[in-house]
Amino acid sequence: MPSISAEDLARVKSEIIPLVKGDWEGPKAGDQIFGPDQVIAAFEAGYAKGTSVVEKLVREKIEQNIQKAGSDTGKLIERLQQVGLSPKSARLKIVGVEEYEVLVVLPEKDYVDDKFDDALSFIGELERATRQDDYCIMFTFCPESESFDESKVKSDGFTLFHKSLVK
């Protein structure tokens, strides 16, 4: 009969026995089944597995939210263009897993145009309509002027560019 490793035995005890019902009975409280080294090893294995699962879920949520931010930014760009504005770029900053900020750069003449004021209500509606427990986007705007400093914008965290405005 092949022997079972301590790791496999720990897995059986932690993952399988708790699921057993009916005619089967697991160890009783206080039974010394494992030594301290086995308990520590089982804890470390569980911690590592749990950490990797959480990291995977966070990564997936960020990917989903980046896609939502791209879609929402696309709607905004389309609306700005419909009212006659010409955004130069839209840059994404990931503030947190659930929070995203988009900086939209407009030509200086568009930034001071009354058409931009007309678009502000749509922007507020879009931000409110897309807000969820696990997703929030904010749009900010700045004019492209002589003092516009690309390196400062990047160092502020706006590093991803919306593809629709990349030339």
Give the per-residue pLDDT at 145: 86
User: 115, 85 in Cβ contact below 8 A?
Assistant: yes
pLDDT value at residue 148: 86
Domain positions in the chain are 57-165
- CA-CA distance, 106 to 108, in Å (whole number)? 6
CATH number of 57-165: 3.30.300
Report whether 8 contacts 17 (CB < 8 A).
Answer: no
pLDDT of 1: 38
What is the crossing angle of helices 36-82 and 114-130, to 10°? Answer: 150
Reading the chain (167 residues) residue by residue, the pLDDT tens digits are: 345 567 766 776 676 566 555 565 555 555 556 566 666 766 777 777 777 777 888 889 999 999 999 999 999 999 999 999 999 999 999 999 999 999 999 999 999 998 888 888 899 999 999 999 999 999 999 999 888 888 899 999 999 999 998 87
For residue 81, give both structure tokens.
């263009």
Q: What is the pTM of this model?
A: 0.70
